[in-house]
């Protein structure tokens, strides 16, 4: 067990006692070190974020004014499809796994992840899968153009790009399942002595529950796209009405995966926010146990609400009512979390460094996204707003202002621990304000467009929608370009800067749990000294 006492900042292989350490590119290809793999995930995630963002640029450039000016309608549909798939499977999910790889072993006092080689393998499945998605743009017939939800019958008729998309989803799903098995095993088996489950940092709890969700729903998505594949090539009729199949069945199977998937993306973000807010409020997290139970409740309820995506498909009234009420119910544990974050800040000694600013931005904007979700959960309103830009506004407030803002906050929060250097605070604040303002310029007008009846996934639109689309497009280009400030701030921090002190934020929180040791001096029961 000599590996337990290794230096926390080094890149020694926890499961390798040999003197041979690969260098250069082979170090990254063969590494089994959780920190290296976390770094790979985070850089891959950011790369995919930029690629998906460029596709969003194409979409918003086309929608800058009415008429078809830049791309064909077919290519526009391919862009919307790939933008969604790349942002979800290429940017947000790997980003969350990157945080998990870096922080979970350090927070629970484990020497490394439980399955170090599988950890390496689960990352290196992702680049080929992402490449497959991008190659699908260049094959005969072009990429899949049925939206990221891949609804038949549209996707049964499409060309070879659809097959590449299906295989890419399979590979990314396999990667997610392996990562989840690794996280669950690490958390359940490798905690330091004295660290009970109810003393773990909340980030570990959110990922433990997320990992179970992933193992439950990824095979469902795999089943859905496999049935799609056999409908396309092997003469089956799962979703083909001409052969006695039912295209609505695909929607049920897909959304049984798709709704828990939303929480798979947001729960790790909740965990990051639950680390940041206590630190910068100089107080322990309010209601730790209720936060854990709320995360579990959200996870369980997420399996019971999938058909709220399908209110316009002709479901029976009793079914519609059930899904409407279940959707309302999921707001309760989410509200518990928001209340606890606010209560943590109440009468705290708050300081507004960049991580806290992103956490506050997250809180404000995620709540807006949550309210619009409740609006869409009410059946008569959803019938009017379904497949309009109101839906686009809603899920971007949850995914971008939710998950992405939490990730930005998490990067700034842990960069001193990861690099040994402090980042440039003024650059980080510029990044926050540009992102916060331009995000709202981009997505808030979409509520108005949706309420006025503009459908989503259309490359052209009537003149009445022109003004808000122009505002939205200008915001989108600004928001995308402002992420270069983030890239510069991170690279500048990695290359050097003011050395980070042992407790960069001077807050007694779970941040300081690194290696196996006696329980920390506050262990959630005694409040830390407010300096």
* Catalytic residue of the set 34, 191, 308, 396: 308
* Catalytic residue of the set 41, 102, 148, 255: 148
15 is catalytic: no
176 is catalytic: yes
Under 8 Å between Cβ of 450 and 388: yes
Report the distance separating Cα 81 and Cα 146, nearest Å: 6
Under 8 Å between Cβ of 349 and 281: yes
279 is catalytic: no
281 is catalytic: no
* Catalytic residue of the set 83, 232, 282, 431: 83
423 is catalytic: no
141 conformational bin, left if phi > 0, alpha if psi -120 to 50, beta if neither: left
17 is catalytic: no
Report the distance separating Cα 406 and Cα 400, nearest Å: 9
* Catalytic residue of the set 191, 232, 309, 386: 309
309 is catalytic: yes
Of 103, 178, 145, give the one whose Cα is nearest residue 411. Answer: 103
* Catalytic residue of the set 34, 199, 259, 417: 259
456 is catalytic: yes
* Catalytic residue of the set 80, 122, 155, 175: 175
Under 8 Å between Cβ of 178 and 113: no
175 is catalytic: yes
Under 8 Å between Cβ of 487 and 424: no
Q: How many residues are present in the chain?
A: 531
473 is catalytic: no
* Catalytic residue of the set 274, 344, 372, 509: 274
492 is catalytic: no
* Catalytic residue of the set 41, 263, 468, 513: 263
* Catalytic residue of the set 112, 275, 353, 424: 112
Tokens of 205: 């709890």
* Catalytic residue of the set 191, 199, 337, 417: 337
Whole-angstrom CA distances from 160 to 133, 173, 341, 453 are: 11, 20, 48, 34
* Catalytic residue of the set 165, 210, 334, 509: 334
* Catalytic residue of the set 163, 261, 424, 512: 261
308 is catalytic: yes
The residues with which 455 forms a beta bridge, in sequence order, are 388
* Catalytic residue of the set 122, 176, 302, 372: 176
* Torsion sign (Cα): 109, 111, 112, 114: negative
Active site residues: 83, 112, 148, 175-176, 259, 261, 263, 274, 308-309, 334, 337, 456
């Amino acid at each position: 067990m000599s590996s337990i006492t290794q230096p926390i900042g080094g890149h020694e292989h926890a499961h390798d006692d040999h003197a041979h350490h690969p260098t250069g590119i082979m170090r990254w290809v063969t590494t089994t070190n959780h920190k290296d793999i976390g770094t790979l995930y985070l850089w891959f995630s950011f790369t995919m974020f930029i690629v998906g963002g460029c596709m969003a640029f194409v979409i918003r450039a086309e929608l800058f004014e009415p008429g078809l000016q830049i791309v064909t309608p077919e290519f526009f549909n391919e862009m919307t499809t790939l933008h969604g798939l790349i942002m979800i499977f290429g940017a947000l999910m790997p980003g969350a796994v990157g945080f998990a790889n870096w922080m979970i072993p350090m927070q629970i006092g484990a020497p490394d992840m439980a399955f170090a080689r599988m950890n390496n393998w689960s990352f290196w499945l992702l680049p080929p899968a992402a490449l497959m998605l991008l190659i699908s743009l260049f094959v005969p017939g072009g990429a899949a153009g049925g939206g990221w939800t891949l609804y038949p019958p549209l996707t049964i008729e499409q060309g070879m790009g659809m097959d590449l998309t299906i295989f890419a989803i399979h590979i990314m799903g396999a990667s997610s399942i392996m990562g989840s098995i690794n996280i669950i095993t690490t958390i359940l088996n490798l905690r330091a002595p004295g660290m009970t489950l109810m003393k773990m940092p909340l980030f570990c709890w959110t990922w433990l529950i997320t990992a179970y969700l992933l193992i439950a729903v990824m095979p469902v998505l795999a089943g859905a796209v496999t049935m799609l594949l056999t409908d396309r090539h092997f003469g089956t009729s799962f979703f083909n009405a001409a052969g006695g199949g039912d295209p609505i069945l695909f929607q049920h199977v897909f959304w049984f995966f798709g709704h828990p998937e939303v929480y798979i993306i947001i729960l790790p973000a909740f965990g990051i926010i639950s680390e940041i807010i206590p630190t910068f409020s100089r107080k322990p997290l309010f209601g730790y146990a209720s936060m854990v139970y709320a995360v579990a409740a959200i996870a369980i309820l997420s399996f019971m609400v999938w058909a709220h995506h399908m209110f316009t498909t002709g479901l029976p009234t009793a079914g519609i009512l059930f899904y409407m009420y279940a959707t309302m119910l999921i707001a309760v544990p989410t509200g518990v979390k928001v209340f606890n974050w606010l209560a943590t800040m109440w009468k705290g000694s708050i300081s507004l460094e960049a991580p806290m600013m992103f956490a506050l931005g997250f809180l404000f904007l995620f709540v807006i996204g949550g309210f619009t979700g409740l609006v869409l959960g009410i059946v008569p309103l959803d019938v009017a707003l379904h497949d309009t830009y109101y839906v686009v506004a809603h899920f971007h407030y949850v995914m971008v202002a939710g998950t992405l803002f939490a990730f930005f906050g998490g990067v700034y929060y842990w960069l001193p621990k990861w690099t040994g250097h402090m980042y440039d605070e003024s650059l980080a604040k510029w990044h926050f304000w540009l992102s916060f303002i331009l995000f709202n310029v981009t997505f808030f007008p979409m509520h108005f467009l949706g309420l006025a009846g503009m459908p989503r996934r259309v490359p052209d639109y009537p003149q009445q929608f022109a003004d808000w689309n122009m505002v939205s497009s200008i915001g989108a280009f600004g928001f995308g370009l402002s992420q270069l400030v983030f890239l510069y701030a991170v690279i500048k921090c990695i290359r050097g800067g003011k050395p980070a002190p042992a407790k960069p934020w001077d807050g007694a929180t779970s941040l300081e749990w690194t290696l196996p040791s006696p329980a920390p001096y506050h262990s959630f029961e005694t409040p830390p000294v407010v300096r």
